[in-house]
Amino acid sequence: MFTISIPIYKYKKVFPQTLKALEKLDQNLIQEINCYIEPTEDVELILSKIHNTSLNINIFLNDSVKGMVNNWNQCIQNCSSDYLIINHDDDILLPGILDKYRKIDNEYPEIALISSEQKIKGYPIKNFIKSLFYFKDSINYYDKGEISKFIQNDFTLPCSSVAFNLKLLKDNYLFSNSYSYSADEELWPRILKNFPIVKVKSPLIIRTLNDENHEFDTWNEPDFIKQYLLIRKDIFIYSNRNMDVFNYLYNKLTPTFKHIEDISGININYSKWLNYFKKICNIKF
């Protein structure tokens, strides 16, 4: 059985579609649906949209603003089902996702995470072709410790597509409060260090990027690049300092910096940050 939890900060226009999609899922596979709502001026509007559905949703109003990572973590800590999906409030789960994941769990009970590809709405057109979804029914299976293979094939997992196997994980594997951005990129390899994971090579969610999505805004934050590199240092450590992992991550930095500059317009001191990454990884060459 699945719990679907929705962490919410502020109201987003796509939120009613997110809820509508949940109505189309197999309700026999859902144990509970929870909403964890931060105390903002949008609370009443959010509640009105929840009450306008046919779903039986448990509503949790945070007493104070917990922040993104803590709100995600309470989704994990308060879950009583075997599997948890943290459905971000601007992403849409597609019909069939729960049945597909149930079948994978039956076949591979040892895996700690199941995820999928995604359809993307609103992605910058010049990068869209590289992000086209796959029409495949195959899976990528990563055995525990296969971090090098994982980062070279998938690296990131669409957050809303991830189902946590809490029979194995529970609250021993939470998102790290050390990171304000991209905390998910640190968690997946940390889990993979000790457990197998699977990614379905067909799209089982729709991810929306629009004016209400602040993913690109974070690139302008003064500590974004530092956190970005510290996460990659952690991944290198989780791989037991596998130099194939280091080399892959290092070689990806320059094109990534260029991409960030193209999208955000900020200027990045390449030499400074490349040397910083080598330093924190304790690599000399």
- The 10s digit of each residue's pLDDT in 67-120 is 999 999 999 999 999 999 999 999 999 999 999 999 999 999 999 999 999 998
Burial class of residue 118, CB neighbours in 10 A (0-12, 13-18, 19+): buried
**Higher pLDDT pick, 21 / 122:** 21
**CA of 158: how far to CAs of 26, 82, 185, 201, in Å?**
21, 20, 10, 12
Is 208:14 a contact under the CB 8 Å cutoff? yes
Whole-number pLDDT of residue 130: 43
Q: Which residue, 131, 102, 114, 208, is CA-closest to 169?
A: 114
The token pair at 182 is 């991209």
Q: What is the helix (H) or strand (E) element at residue 275, kind and residue range?
A: helix 270-280
In DSSP terms, 185 is beta-bridged to none
Dihedral angle, C-alpha 185, 189, 192, 197, nearest 10 ° = 30
- What is the rounded distance in angstroms from the CA atom of residue 245 to the CA atom of residue 163? 25
pTM for this entry: 0.91
Per-residue pLDDT of 45-60, as tens digits, reads 999 999 999 999 999 9
Cβ atoms 23, 53 nearer than 8 A? yes
Tell me: the pLDDT tens digits for 194-226?
Answer: 999 999 999 999 998 765 555 666 777 888 999
Q: What are phi and psi of 85, to 5 degrees?
A: -115, 125
In angstroms, rounded to a whole number, what is the distance separating the alpha carbons of residues 272 and 43?
43
- Whether the pLDDT of residue 131 is over 50: the answer is no
Q: What is the pLDDT of residues 18-41, one digit of tens each?
A: 999 999 999 999 999 999 999 999
Q: Determine the pLDDT at residue 263.
A: 81
Q: Identify the pLDDT of residue 170.
A: 76
* Distance separating alpha carbons of residues 119 and 111, to the nearest angstrom: 24
Determine contact, residues 202/136, Cβ cutoff 8 Å: yes
| Interval 108-119: pLDDT, tens | 999 999 999 999
CA-based nearest residue to 105, from 29, 54, 14? 29
In single-letter form, the type of residue at position 95 comes to P
**Which pairs from 52-59 meet CB under 8 Å and 24+ separation?**
52/16, 53/19, 53/20, 53/22, 53/23, 54/23, 55/19, 55/22, 55/23, 57/33, 58/32, 58/33, 58/34, 59/34, 59/35
Which residues face 119 on adjacent strands?
Answer: 206
Lowest mean per-residue pLDDT among 90-99, 123-132, 217-226, 237-246: 123-132
Amino acid identity of 145? G
Averaged confidence pLDDT in the chain: 91
| CA–CA separation, 63 and 41 (whole Å) | 14
Regarding the domain with residue range 2-208, which homologous superfamily does it belong to in the CATH classification? Answer: Spore Coat Polysaccharide Biosynthesis Protein SpsA; Chain A (3.90.550.10)
Give Cα 71 to chain centroid, integer Å: 14
